[in-house]
Structure 1
Amino acid sequence: METDCLEIVDLWKSRQYSMSMVAPVLLEIRELASSFSFFDIQHVNRSANVPTHLCAKHACTLTVTESWTGLRPSFLLTSLLADDARSLFVE
């Protein structure tokens, strides 16, 4: 898994997150990860994680929960298309 949040990566690697607000999420990730032969969380620059950053930024503006099923939200579409185009060159 990749994230642009270095604090999450550090917490994951240290396993010292019991007092962190994100501890329940990390514990759930650890439980789910046990079904894989290998799982790690790595840091990436925000520029390599634009769609995720846009989702987080959008979520901060919401007062209710949003759900998208079968469609891509307009605020994210350009970034998803650019991200998809970049992935064509990475193999």
Structure 2
Amino acid sequence: METDCLEAVNLWNSRYTDRSVIAPILDEIGELALSFTFFTVQHVMRSAKGPAYLCAKRACTLSVTESWLYSTPPFLISSLLADCSASTC
């Protein structure tokens, strides 16, 4: 999981020794994470979240579910291209 909140990453990494207010939530996330072969929480710069932000913004405006299995939605193409060229993919 990636987040731009460094404090959330630090809380996750210290969840066994630090009993913060959100400890029950971290415990629940830990239980759900057991369903995966590998799970980690890592920090990303806010500027690297362009495509994710656009998807979340789009989801907030929909009254139905959309899925894109075989094509990239038009609203996302330019952001993905910019993200790809920034990371030289």
Q: Equivalent residue of 2:35, what SS?
A: helix
Q: RMSD of aligned C-alpha atoms?
A: 2.7
Give, as a single letter, the amino acid of the residue that structure 1 aligns with 2:78: T
Runs of 4+ with >4 A deviation: 5-8
Shift, 1:29, TM fit: 3.3
Q: Distance in 2 between matches of 1:7 and 1:62?
A: 31
Unaligned runs of 5+ in 1: none
- Matching residue of 2:55: 55
Unaligned runs of 5+ in 2: 17-22
% identical aligned pairs: 51
Q: Max radius of gyration: which structure? A: 2
**2:55 is the alignment partner of 1:80:** no
Which residue among 28, 34, 55 is the counterpart of 2:32?
A: 28
Q: Does the CA contact (< 8 Å) of 1:2 and 1:41 recur in 2?
A: yes
Q: Does the CA contact (< 8 Å) of 1:4 and 1:46 recur in 2?
A: yes
